[in-house]
Structure 1
């Protein structure tokens, strides 16, 4: 008999993780090799996002975790390739995955705080941003290392699950978990940071987004002669902010599906698979937003497309000349990049109103 929830779960995870791994790898390449000097500072934040999301997709693909909240116990069934190694390997991969998702949420909040900060101040240096990222990452790192000690004996966890869920199929499953999360501070140190801060962080992101939009509208209102390119950049920034502000919503779905089971309200394989299936939207969508709205990266993709067409059709197609508005540099100046084939020529022009245009 086909286990339809598991089949749908596996198809979904393999598909979305493949997309997420591919685009995050592409974004990492862009950040390292295709970032113009004028946006190298902000690219540190983008690279941090890409690495975190790439790690989340890789570990989720290897683990394929089904989360089973069961009263005071919390168990996991690993359906990924890690099951061919050992339950311990699956648990280590799972703890790594959780810490990547946690860091991704705080990185998103940091990104919005950065965008609001540079409306009034010069962009921080790459070294400063790297130090801030390390500070933000520290809680996630300790969450990962402490959670490794919360894994109980697999045989005991399986016996507990069979008694609590006699209708579930636990034959030939790789099972790990914690028998009593209330007595395990290591487990609580992961559960609480993964659930409680989601709503406050989401509210803070929405507040910062509102403040950024208000400031951009104020700047636009004082510029009677704002160019069409500048207006377009403002509109693109607002669209990027709106899309990124939606990402924590998927985190909220995951927390809700987990809480319903852990509180004993309702247990179902669908909810148990939904927890991490909904989380996968974040690392899959986030790199697409960055690649599309960061103009130098999007321009690179367009250039690659023309080269591919030229190679495929066996003759050279020269792309049309376009003007690409880039980000602010650390000095607060604006670069206007003229793309003609593979050559870039830059002309600097000062514009205080453009300090917020990082997308």
Structure 2
């Protein structure tokens, strides 16, 4: 029952997230006012990252098995990649992993940009795109170096049987792979890049948020009503975006519980990455609901759909009345 729920959650959650992020991309590209085109570059960056994360989630649907107090990681892929082969699963996992730190760095960049434009002219889109590419380099390196370290079934199965004979992973549904040891450079780099920046980056984010609010209050009389409203909308979006990843705490606790041998169970192993899905799923709605041009676009879209449904109902009534 639980496994069925997990598979449905991954399938529908990921599909929903892909559609939401594509909708945001369309709204940003077609509905962004000229004066805010620069910041739209950052929103596009978020949407592309979240779309990729959702796409990879449905592609790999990962079960993460962690032997207590050991340096081995065991992966079971239940997604579409199990039908396209081990290599596609490995690359899919690397791409999936690299989205997390890039999102964190992108959040820091967005808050920094909001603070910067309160004191300086707007940064041109080309320069902003180059900055995004620069902060993407560590995540890109992570994606490139990690997948070759993931071992095939033949290497991992003896280790899996040694640590978890009760799971009978030789006959498990899905594709078996893993990391024989996390002591190699690629694994250390990935773990460090995923974990180390989070605390200092979030401290910096909340410091910048405080400074932006303070600066906006100072400049209340100097900024136009539209400028104040726009800054307020963006700040609200970024704050919610910064809060959403705290859902991942459930995944982190599940990981620590398994790694420290406190509690090991398939429910925990599936939960580690099932808990990451709300982040890319709901993140686009922070922009679609709180930024006026995008909110109006969504409202028109819903109104148009309602009109179409009403029209179809009226036609069906006419047909049945004949």
* TM norm structure 1: 0.79
2:179 matched residue in structure 1: 178
Q: 1:248 to 1:202 in 2, by over 3 A?
A: farther
Q: Secondary structure at the match of 1:122?
A: coil
Other-structure match for 2:145:
146
Question: 2:93–2:147: 8 Å Cα contact kept in structure 1?
Answer: no
Unpaired runs of 5+ residues, structure 1, are 316-359
Match of 1:29 in 2: 26
Count of residues in correspondence between the two structures: 308
Partner of 1:196: 196
Distance in 1 between the 2:228 and 2:115 partners?
A: 19
Q: 1:25, 1:63 → 2: CA distance?
A: 20
Q: Which has the higher relative contact order, 1 or 2, with Cα contacts under 8 A spaced 6 or more apart?
A: 2
Secondary structure of the structure 2 residue equivalent to 1:167: helix
Question: In the alignment, is the contact (CA less than 8 A) between 2:13 and 2:281 conserved in 1?
Answer: yes
User: Retained in 1: the 8 A contact 2:115–2:208?
Assistant: yes
Cα gap change, 1:234/1:188 in structure 2, threshold over 3 Å: closer, same or farther? closer
Mapping of residues 55-134 of structure 1, within 5 Å? 55-70=52-67, 71-134=70-133
Question: For the residues of structure 1 that align with 2:229 and 2:39, how far apart are their CA atoms?
Answer: 20
More helix by share: 2
Instruction: Confirm or deny: 8 A CA contact 1:198 1:251 kept in the other structure.
Output: no
- The structure in which a higher percent of residues are strand is 1
Matches within 5 A, 1:127-276: 127-170=126-169, 171-172=171-172, 173-182=174-183, 184-220=184-220, 222=221, 236-276=233-273
Note closer, same or farther for the CA distance 1:104–1:231 as it changes in structure 2 (3 Å cut): closer
Contact 2:107–2:238 at 8 Å: present in 1 too? no
Q: In 2 relative to 1, CA 49–204 (structure 1 residues): closer, same or farther, beyond 3 Å?
A: same
TM-score scaled to structure 2, two decimals?
0.88
Measured at CA, do residues 312 and 52 of structure 1 come closer, stay the same or move farther in structure 2, by a change above 3 Å?
same
Check if 1:286 corresponds to 2:313: no
Q: Give the Cα–Cα distance (whole angstroms) in 2 for the partners of residues 5 and 185 of structure 1.
A: 36
Q: Cα–Cα, structure 1 residues 162 and 233, in superposed 2: closer, same or farther, change >3 Å? A: same
Tell which deviates more after alignment, 27-36 or 234-243: 234-243
When residues 263 and 234 of structure 1 are mapped into structure 2, their CA distance, relative to the original with a 3 A threshold, is same
SS in 2 for 1:246: helix
Q: Could you list the per-position Cα deviations for residues 36-72 of structure 1 after superposition, in whole angstroms to 9, with x for gaps in the alignment?
A: 2111111100001000100000011010001112211
The answer to whether the Cα contact below 8 Å between 1:17 and 1:284 also exists between their aligned partners in 2 is yes
Q: Determine the C-alpha separation between the residues in 2 that align with 1:90 and 1:247.
A: 27
1:38 is paired with a residue of what secondary structure?
helix
Where 2:297 maps in the other structure, the secondary structure is helix
CA-based RMSD: 2.3
Candidates 16, 20, 33, aligned match of 2:17: 20
1:305 aligned to which of 293, 302, 316: 302
Residues 314-353 of structure 1 aligned to structure 2 (within 5 Å): 314=311
Deviations 1:217-267 (A, max 9, x none): 3333x57x986x777666645533431220231344433332332344432
